[in-house]
Amino acid sequence: MTCLIIGNHTQGLGILRSLSTLGIETHVVNETHISLSRFSKYITKYHFIKGKSLKYLYHLENSEYLLRNILRIVPEGQRWVIFGMNEDTINFVYQNRDVLNERFLIPDNNIKLIIDKFYFAKEIEKIGLASPKTFLLDNFNEDLLNNNFYVCKGRIGNKFRNLSNRKGMEIKTKADLSRLKKGIKDFLNEDEVLLQQKIRKNKEVLSCCGFAIDGEILLSFQYVKLRQHPDEFGTGTFLKSIKNKEIFNQSVSIIAHFAYTGIYEIEYVKDFDEQYYVIEVNPRTWKSINFASNCGQNICKAYYDYMKKNIIPAPNYDYVIDKTWVDLGTDVPVLIKNGQFKNIGYNRNTCFCVLHTKDPLPFFTEMILFPLIMLNY
């Protein structure tokens, strides 16, 4: 029994550790020699592929290159469980599903309605949940900028992010809008970029995660970002596990609407009027996936058991709350930048992204090679 993890190093490490109790072979494919998952004692084999092929996976030559390589890894007659790290990887898997199905087990989902942020916003409107007003750049009326701020982001995957080197950009004025259009004109079509109205009274960013089969949530886990980097549109560096009935109920409606099967993360923003806005669904694992396992919800194991053995878990919404998780490699720089060491927040209930007593080598590698790791990412 075997699985393949495509890309990343801390997220891949979390998957390896979550699957460590299964006694299965775990293979990782990545585009850098220095990947923390490579140094985990739980990895079976690390497959290096040429640099930037995953970062620019939306280019056809990189997609075809990855397809050839991962098909070559799986012996004929076997079918492995596959874990993807981001929207580009998931899009790649479903675009090539007919070919990959010969060697990999892939859930049946209408993935485009989820990963295409414009279509997704329209689907959330159909459900009747609150979501930021969303426009494609090519149809955006600049008069909408009056007294409103917008967040500009890519419609699908990381193409816009790679170009701008940011997850999102604020558009406040007509001058901002003009600069945006000029900046992308040689690289992106305007229908590949969208504008979402910014929630200006932003109180909290929360995630409701889990595992579902045919639109039914069977395992659930939630966390709130206590710190993130960058300060806006960032990835969480310090998190706390929570239980929030309202976002759980909204997530039930969303997952049922898409009849979704697999691992997911739904991101919400809460404003100071206690209103929750649905931002996006990530149909995949997330960076702190092992945080769920630390709190008693091993979502990776449930997914593997279902895909490989057709084991359907009993519904389970129980897990430890008020536990914290930190990625020291990103959180410490945030603390230094913001001068927050008096309110660091770490305690005996804090678990770590990389530091692990039973699997210590990735942490030592991170400490020794930190500058090189930063250059690679």
Alpha-carbon distance 25 to 298, whole Å?
A: 18
- Segment 53-84, tens digit of pLDDT: 999 999 999 999 999 999 999 999 999 999 99
Query: Average of pLDDT values for 166-173?
Result: 84
β-sheet bridge partners, residue 227: 238
Question: Measuring CA to CA, how many Å separate 56 from each of 159, 161, 204?
Answer: 7, 11, 31
CA dihedral 353→358→359→365, nearest 10 degrees, is: 80
- Segment 215-229, tens digit of pLDDT: 999 999 999 999 987
Give me 199's structure tokens.
Answer: 């929630």
- Segment 5-54, tens digit of pLDDT: 998 789 999 999 999 999 999 999 999 888 899 999 999 999 999 988 99
- Segment 176-212, tens digit of pLDDT: 999 999 989 889 999 999 999 988 667 799 999 999 9
Residue written as tokens 């004109």? 185
Q: Is the pLDDT of residue 377 over 60?
A: no
pTM: predicted TM-score of the whole model, two decimal places: 0.94
Query: Average of pLDDT values for 267-288?
Result: 93
Confidence at residue 372, expressed as pLDDT on a 0 to 100 scale: 59
β-sheet bridge partners, residue 40: none
Confidence at residue 163, expressed as pLDDT on a 0 to 100 scale: 84
If you write DSSP's letter for every residue of 172-234 in order, what string do you get?
-SHHHHHHHHHHHTTT--GGGEEEEE--SSEEEEEEEEEEEETTEEEEEEEEEEEEEESSSSP
Residue written as tokens 């076997």? 78
146: confidence class by pLDDT, cuts 50, 70, 90:
confident
